[in-house]
Amino acid sequence: MNYRQQFAEEIYTHLQGLSEVDEIHSLIEEPKYNTHGDLAFPCFTLAKKLKKAPQQIAKELSTKIDAPFLEKTVAEGPYLNGFFNKQVVSKQVIRRINTEKEDYGSSSAGAGKIVTLDFSSPNIAKPFSMGHLRSTVIGNALANISEKYGYKAIRINHLGDWGTQFGKLITAYKKWGLEEKVRENPIKELFYLYVMFHEQAEKHPHLEDEARFWFKQLESGNEEANQLWKWFREESLKEFAKIYELLDIAFDSYDGEAFYNDKMDKVVQELKNKDLLSLSDGAEVVELAAENMPPCLIKKKDGATLYATRDLAAAIYRSRAYHFEKSFYIVGQEQRLHFEQLFLVLQKMGYDWAASLKHVPFGFILKDGKKMSTRKGKVVLLEDVIKEAIDLAYQNIKTKNPELENKEEVAKMVGVGAIIFHDLKNERQNNIEFNLDEMLKFEGSTGLYVQYTHARSCSILRKASAENNLSVSGLTDSYSWTVIKILMDFPNVIEKSFQQAEPSVIAKYVLKLSQDFNKYYGQVKILADDAEQSSRLALVKSVAIVLKEGLKLLGIKAPEKL
Ligand code: ARG
């Protein structure tokens, strides 16, 4: 039912082997104006081969092509335009969606291939930031989209659980920390200690030496240091788990930076063997001057390894462990240079798979136009923010639909959905303004609007007691047709959003589908008792299926009642 493909095949049969089907397929476009039909084939490239003017080719093809899914073909200058037979096509599309259900739009393009997605990756002993929220939401959507496209997705949480900050934290804890306080409220307390360290270190610089000492102890396996580290890590993970549970997101691996501790010596040795290391101020670096980039720091003067060293080891490890075809890093745009350097070093090491690594950057979350940062000591816990959204959603529902049975469950779907949709509806590189009231509006570009439209379609089906096997005879009026054309596009939309690593393509799509379905709902008497009722109900069902699946790809649930 891929009409582009069918159109290409039709054209191909009349060209007597002068061109390949695939080539023709790749040339087919959508006409700019819908008065020019549904499919367009530009004949320019054939002109040379056929030794004919493109206008002539278009004209000849238009007289020859005759297929049931086309009402007619028309030569428009050098273009061959195809007009769908609405009766035939609408019937096929609606039937297909009703049969394939949530599998509609799935592809086997990625079958047998693996994509790894490095996302979320918060830092231990620090609050889960807004930036990490973006990474979490975008990364999870991309993983879902990759799966829909046929790939096996491996979700990796590259925890920030190693680095000099642990020297600082251990120092601070030993000086000012209290065990019960950390147990009671780990993230708040550990972050408080971290902030305290920085304040004190400004006045007492020797604290920095102490922190370096403790990090060295940690790296060389000192028992006390390692016990503390392990404890901080566990407590932090428990806190992060609450957020993942609210968002309903799970990972295949929590192998973070610390996991690579015993894998770095080999990498450093390999860099040496490949003659890539040089000394700069006592530190070991890979020079990237030829590429107009600052050197990539591999080992500090004191022998300590760095973020980049661990990422090198991680990439090499993952390529061996997962044999990925693609490997995405969903990390804020402020780390662009880091990833450019990382990929370049791997390339210099001779790894051809370095070309399949991709940094997927995104913009900031702003509050009143300003960057949202965890100001000194004042921590906004993400868990509280999400809970606030759920609470607001609950109040909303209580006033709008007091009868609703499972209000709490639905409020969770709506509150969480609002946050996710607000993030994903814009291209990821844009900054986004964080405003809960805006996110939870019933009208406008919100997750709630899409969820509401989905619930509306479910409610129509309930009212009609629509059966499972609705008979479909095709719909040709313009309101239906607009909706059907959008439904048809779903498989392409998934492909596009995968190719561009851009969940917003799907978010925009479900918004558009909702808007046009609501127009349809306003104009057409869906439940009128006539010969087309069953077809209309099948269309409503198709809309419900696609909205639900689209939202699911974004990581948002679609309640049947709202
Ligand atoms: N923990 C890092 C941060 O918060 C993000 C890690 C991203 N992943 C990676 N492989 N570097 O900035």
Q: Are strands 326-330 and 357-360 parallel, antiparallel or unpaired?
A: parallel
With the most atoms of ligand 1 within 8 angstroms of its CB, the residue from 121, 134, 154, 339 to mutate is: 121
Is the confidence at residue 535, as pLDDT, over 60? yes
Atom of ligand 1 nearest to the CA of 314: 10
d(CA 319, CA 209): 37
Under the banding of pLDDT at 50, 70 and 90, the label for residue 373 is low
Q: What lines the ligand 1 site, CB under 6 Å?
A: 118, 121, 123, 158, 160, 311, 314, 329, 331
- AA letter at 354: A
User: Separation of 118 CA from ligand 1 center, angstroms?
Assistant: 8
User: Separation of 158 CA from ligand 1 center, angstroms?
Assistant: 6
Average pLDDT, the chain: 94
pLDDT at residue 1 in the model: 63
Whole-number CA gyration radius for the chain: 28
Give the Å distances, CA to CA, from 385 to 154, 186, 392, 512.
28, 18, 11, 28
102-118 average pLDDT score? 97
pLDDT at residue 137 in the model: 98
Atom of ligand 1 nearest to the CA of 332: 12
Closest by Cα among 420, 424, 430 to 386? 420
Is the confidence at residue 48, as pLDDT, over 90? no
Q: 199: exposed, middle or buried (C-beta count within 10 Å: 0-12, 13-18, 19+)?
A: exposed
pLDDT at residue 377 in the model: 53
Distance from chain centroid for Cα 422: 13
pLDDT at residue 425 in the model: 97
Which residue's alpha carbon is at the smallest distance from atom 6 of ligand 1? 121
Which residue's alpha carbon is at the smallest distance from atom 9 of ligand 1? 158
259-276 average pLDDT score? 96
Is the confidence at residue 23, as pLDDT, over 80? yes
Give the pair of three-digit tokens for residue 98. 């009703």
pLDDT at residue 404 in the model: 95
With the most atoms of ligand 1 within 8 angstroms of its CB, the residue from 154, 335, 340 to mutate is: 335
Closest by Cα among 334, 128, 345, 89 to 244? 128
The number of beta carbons lying within 10 Å of the beta carbon of residue 259 is 18
Residues 296 and 345 sit within 8 Å (Cβ to Cβ): yes
User: Separation of 318 CA from ligand 1 center, angstroms?
Assistant: 15
Q: 366: exposed, middle or buried (C-beta count within 10 Å: 0-12, 13-18, 19+)?
A: middle
pLDDT at residue 506 in the model: 98
